[in-house]
């Protein structure tokens, strides 16, 4: 009686475990071995072909858009870029994943780090194993990677918002207002500072910044602040909202108040959230970096490192396909980095190319 139970359990488990580790042992096996020898033979880094793009987590549209750009670069370079991430945006899961990628002796890793510091030992292990390590979107501390691909630079982000406001206000200029996140938000404050400087340039002399208000990154509060702005300033032309919550709330407030064409909203937003307002004209253009370009550049940088085209030192240059030439820069905080460039402006013409 007991024996029978045992035999059945054993058989079931054996079947199960076979299923588990090798669904189709027949087809992939011999090629796997060949493949491996190929990888092991790669002493010449120029022949390196297997790269991995690691997002913070899988199933995130922002990173999935990045993967589109990465695959484009992979096609141009004739390399394989695998898109592998952890299920959740968690540092320990990401480390486990990275360890298995390091074990496979891939040529390069482009990582969006879940923890700046916790990934340093893993990044170092990868570099010791001869793997090119770049970070994108979210950096590992300089000790744990070769290069960071930096999506946003203070100056560029601040300037592009004034440029957009100037275009929207028209040749005569007019009153503009800023609707920010919290009054203590470091990013927003730094951008506002840049914007105020840019406004002093003669080109933008016809723009008058009337007030800076704070929506605290709360949808309702931002909505109310936007409403208060165009009640208080009937001649207001543009609201700049350098925050994703604020820009959507302001555009909704403009739409609801039937002021489309009179007051324009611009700032920093994401395509899916802003699509409606770009199309109805309340927020004809807004900026943010393009994750596809960011990952595209990351793949080129990782490839340049792995093939020895660059050695990760400041001042080196490499060409990244359609994006053109880039220079490795050294920054006291960021370490070695490559700057993607001016933010990407989304408008009615291109917004349907994006889904994130």
Partner 1 sequence: MTVETINKNQQENIISDRQARKSFFSIFLKWEWLLFVLILLVIFINTRLSPFFLNAINLSRTSSDFMEIGLMMLPMVLIIVTGNIDLSVASNMGMSASLMGLMHNMGINIWLAALAGLTLGTLGGVLNGYLVAYVKLPSLVVTLGTFAFFRGIAFGFLGDQAARNYPSQFTFIGQGRVFDTLIPFSVVLFIALALIFGLVLHRTIIGRQLYAIGNNEPAAKYSGVPVEKIKFILFIVSGFISALAGLVLAARFGSTRPDNGTGLELAVITAAVLGGLDINGGKGSMYGATLALVLIGLLRFGMGLLNIQSQVQSMVIGLLLIVSILVPHIGQQIRFLKQVKFRWQSILMTVGLLVVFTAFFIFFFWSRAPIIAQF
Q: Which residues here bind partner 1, judged by CB under 8 A?
A: 1-2, 4-6, 8-10, 12-25, 27-29, 31-33, 35-36, 40, 58-59, 80, 82, 84-88, 90-93, 95-97, 99-105, 115-118, 120-121, 125, 141
Q: How far is CA 258 from the centre of its chain?
A: 34
Cα distance between residue 135 and residue 339, in whole Å: 12
CB closer to partner 1, 17 vs 311 = 17
Rounded to the nearest whole angstrom, what is the least distance from the CB of residue 6 to partner 1 in the complex?
6
CB closer to partner 1, 25 vs 315 = 25
Rounded to the nearest whole angstrom, what is the least distance from the CB of residue 158 to partner 1 in the complex?
24
CB closer to partner 1, 116 vs 219 = 116
CB closer to partner 1, 5 vs 202 = 5
Per residue in 79-112, is it b (16+ CB within 10 Å) or e — as a string? bebebbbbeebebeebbebbeebbeeebbbbbbb
Rounded to the nearest whole angstrom, what is the least distance from the CB of residue 323 to partner 1 in the complex?
27
Rounded to the nearest whole angstrom, what is the least distance from the CB of residue 310 to partner 1 in the complex?
27
Rounded to the nearest whole angstrom, what is the least distance from the CB of residue 89 to partner 1 in the complex?
10
Rounded to the nearest whole angstrom, what is the least distance from the CB of residue 264 to partner 1 in the complex?
34
Rounded to the nearest whole angstrom, what is the least distance from the CB of residue 321 to partner 1 in the complex?
23
Strands 335-339, 329-331: parallel, antiparallel or unpaired by DSSP?
antiparallel
CB closer to partner 1, 64 vs 196 = 64
CB closer to partner 1, 13 vs 154 = 13
- Cβ atoms of 165 and 240 within 8 Å: the answer is yes
CB closer to partner 1, 96 vs 327 = 96
């Amino acid at each position: 009686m007991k024996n029978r139970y045992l035999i059945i359990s054993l058989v079931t488990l054996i079947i199960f475990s076979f299923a588990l580790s090798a669904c189709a042992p027949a087809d992939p096996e011999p090629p796997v071995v060949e493949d491996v020898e190929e990888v092991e033979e790669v002493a010449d880094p120029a022949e390196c072909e297997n790269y991995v793009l690691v997002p913070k987590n899988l199933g995130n549209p922002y990173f999935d858009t990045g993967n589109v750009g990465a695959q484009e670069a992979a096609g141009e370079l004739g390399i394989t870029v695998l898109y592998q991430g952890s299920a959740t945006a968690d540092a320990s899961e990401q480390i486990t994943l990275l360890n298995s990628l390091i074990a496979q002796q891939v040529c390069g890793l482009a990582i969006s780090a879940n923890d700046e510091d916790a990934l340093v030992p893993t990044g170092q292990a990868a570099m010791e194993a001869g793997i090119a390590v770049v970070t994108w979107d979210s950096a590992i501390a300089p000790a744990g990677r070769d290069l960071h691909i930096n999506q946003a630079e203070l100056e560029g982000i601040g300037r592009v918002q004034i440029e957009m406001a100037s275009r929207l206000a028209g040749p005569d200029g007019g009153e503009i207002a800023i609707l920010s996140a919290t009054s203590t938000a470091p990013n927003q404050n730094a951008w506002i500072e840049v914007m105020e400087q840019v406004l002093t340039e003669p080109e933008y002399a016809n723009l008058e910044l009337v007030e800076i208000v704070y929506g605290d990154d709360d949808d309702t509060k931002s909505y109310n602040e936007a409403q208060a702005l165009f009640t208080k300033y009937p001649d207001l032309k543009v609201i700049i909202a350098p925050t994703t919550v604020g820009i959507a709330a302001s555009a909704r407030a403009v739409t609801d108040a039937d002021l489309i064409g009179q007051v324009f909203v611009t700032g920093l937003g994401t395509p899916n959230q802003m699509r409606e307002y770009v199309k109805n004209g309340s927020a004809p253009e807004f900026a943010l970096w393009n994750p596809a370009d960011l990952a595209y550049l990351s793949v080129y940088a990782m490839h340049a490192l792995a093939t020895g085209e660059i050695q990760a030192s400041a001042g080196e240059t490499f060409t990244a396909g359609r994006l053109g030439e880039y220079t490795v820069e050294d920054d006291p905080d960021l370490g070695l980095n490559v700057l993607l460039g001016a933010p990407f402006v989304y408008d009615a013409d291109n917004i349907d190319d994006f889904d994130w």
